[in-house]
Amino acid sequence: MNIFNLAYEYRNFFLSGLQYTLLLAVIGVFCGFVLGIAVALLRMSRFWPLRFIATAWVEFLRGTPMLVQLFLIHYGLPVFGIEFSPIESGAITLSINSSAYLAETFRAGIQGVDRGQMEAARSLGMRQGMTMRYIILPQALKNVLPAIGNEFITIIKESSIVSMIGVADLLFQSRTVTTITYEALTPLLIIAFMYFVMTFTLSKILGRLERRLNTDDRR
């Protein structure tokens, strides 16, 4: 069957998978963003128990495969009476995994801000929390925007592992189409193109945003 004919005939399968893929990617990056900032701040805390917990979080999640983390959450936690639906397990896995990488990105961004700005803000009577919120974090986030965009692209691609637990994302739907049509290669080529379009478009948008921010800085 012609690739274009197959893509059109089974477009509902592919579009449905696209929705789940984008949904999981957005949830993963948004929740990972929030968790990542919290973990980064904990890693920079003066209290060693908090630093230890945050460091253990980052090292474990960065040091183990995401597929293993997915299976631990979806198949391991029910042993303790904690159960999630496949899409919930997928969203949780992508979120916590993303948080570990973003935490290191944010920490580097915060440490890259001139320490003199913190001291100047404190000399003006601003408390540490207020200084971090209004002075340090906005600059740090601006500096690490490209890295955040790269993480979003990575999550879009790695979200395909959720098909292993039955989430009907793009990869799952391509297998469904293969089962119906007995076409093994064509559905994979279709979703590969869809993944490419998503990641390429996002990288161009982020590149334009980064150039605009750099232009504003020069002004």
User: CA 148 to CA 146: how far, in whole Å?
Assistant: 5
**Prediction pTM value:** 0.89
Q: Which fold has domain 3-218?
A: MetI-like fold (1.10.3720)
Q: Where are the alpha helices (DSSP H) in the chain?
A: 3-9, 11-43, 48-63, 66-71, 86-112, 115-123, 128-131, 137-143, 145-158, 170-181, 185-218
Domain locations in the chain as residue ranges: 3-218
Q: What is the pLDDT of residue 1?
A: 67
Residue 136: phi, psi to the nearest 5?
A: -80, -55
Question: DSSP secondary structure string, 99-140?
Answer: HHHHHHHHHHHHHHS-HHHHHHHHHTT--HHHHIIIIIHHHH
Instruction: Specify whether the CB–CB gap between 77 and 84 falls below 8 A.
Output: yes
Q: pLDDT of 155-209, one tens digit each?
A: 999 999 999 999 999 999 999 999 999 999 999 999 999 999 999 999 888 888 8
Q: What is the pLDDT of residue 217?
A: 59
User: CA 64 to CA 107: how far, in whole Å?
Assistant: 21
- The mean pLDDT values, 10 residues at a time, for the chain of 219 residues are 90 95 94 93 90 95 96 96 95 96 90 77 75 80 84 92 94 95 94 95 86 67
